[in-house]
Amino acid sequence: MSAIPLSTIEATQEEPPVNLWRDAWYRLKRNKLALFGLVVVLILGFTAIFGPYLTPYDYLTQDLQARNAVPSLHHLFGTDDLGRDVFSRVVFGTRTAFLVAIVVTFIAVAIGLVLGAIAGFFGNPFDSAIMWLTDVTMSVPNLLLVVVINASLKTPIAKWMEAQYMATLNPFYRQTIWVDFFLVFGSMALISWPPYARLVRAQVLSIRSRPYITAAQALGLSNWVIMKRYVVPNALGPLIVSVSAGLGTAMVLESAFSFLGVGVNPPTPSWGNMISDGLRVWQHYPHLLAAPAAVLGLASVAFSFLGDGLNDALNPRGSK
């Protein structure tokens, strides 16, 4: 039997151990479109956090002498019909979009993860009940559900806040933006969790029949410990991919609902209500429509590219 060359042994010893996340990052770096999406998402995230502190104007400041000004060095995206700087409003709208997308996606993922894991691991009757609830939720038109929730709850909540203000004189209760956010978060999370639940359930059904789960059960570990230590962590890969795409979808949904008047309402800047305002005067002042629509489109494309790249990176079958 021939001896193995020493150089081969040394080369093998110097190779780093296989790591799922490092290998995924290596595959992601080779995907130019995914990197583009990642860079755009990071820039938008930075803008959402720090942008409002760096803009030259406050998003509510009005300059009636500069109404409907075209883009210039003083106003990069021009001004609207009240003389407000469109660039500053688009930047603040980024914060609104990211806040809604992150909170809604977090709530939807938490609900979907818990219900999907219970349905997939414990089976009937939990599986039948949760899947029935998922089908019912998905069968209701999204727009109709959001409109009903906003129409039925907004007025009572606003009246309650007004009563609290009269009783306490606390200015917090006059900030109706929190009512908008509460209803947007709740209604969008209510329509967004079913796909996550289905995805987690499918992953758990595949994982629970694997040998290491059987071994853990033979050792006497409880079902909840097995789910926490072995089932849920191994189901997170596809969920991460779905979350990256879900963030972009949540941004588009929020903009769509704000465009229709059932989302975040003025004066709080939102890409949706800015597009709605710009659409009425786009023939005369196209910059009022082009600026928020272009940023929304760029964000949607970036999240799409990033989601596709993460899918290829976290899927070993996608590597060559």
pTM of the model: 0.78
pLDDT at 3: 52
Bridge partners, residue 85, by sequence: 79
pLDDT at 1: 45
Name the nearest CA neighbour of 223 among 134, 120, 130, 112.
Answer: 120
pLDDT at 319: 46
Domains of the chain and any CATH numbers? 43-318 (1.10.3720.10)
Q: Where are the alpha helices (DSSP H) in 169-286?
A: 177-207, 211-218, 223-226, 232-234, 236-259, 271-280
Q: What is the pLDDT of residues 120-142, one digit of tens each?
A: 888 888 888 999 999 888 888 87
Angle, vertex CA 137, rays to CA 133 and CA 142, nearest 5: 175
pLDDT at 317: 53
Q: In whole angstroms, what is the distance from residue 216 CA to residue 272 CA?
A: 50
Q: In whole angstroms, what is the distance from residue 106 CA to residue 110 CA?
A: 6
In order along its 320 residues, the chain shows pLDDT tens digits of 445 554 544 444 444 445 656 777 777 778 788 888 889 889 988 988 888 788 888 888 888 888 878 888 888 888 888 888 888 888 888 888 888 888 888 888 889 888 988 888 888 888 889 999 998 888 888 778 887 887 788 778 878 888 888 888 887 777 777 777 788 778 888 888 898 889 888 888 888 778 877 787 787 777 788 877 777 777 777 787 788 778 888 888 888 887 777 777 777 788 888 888 888 888 888 888 888 888 888 888 888 888 777 777 766 554 44
pLDDT at 315: 64
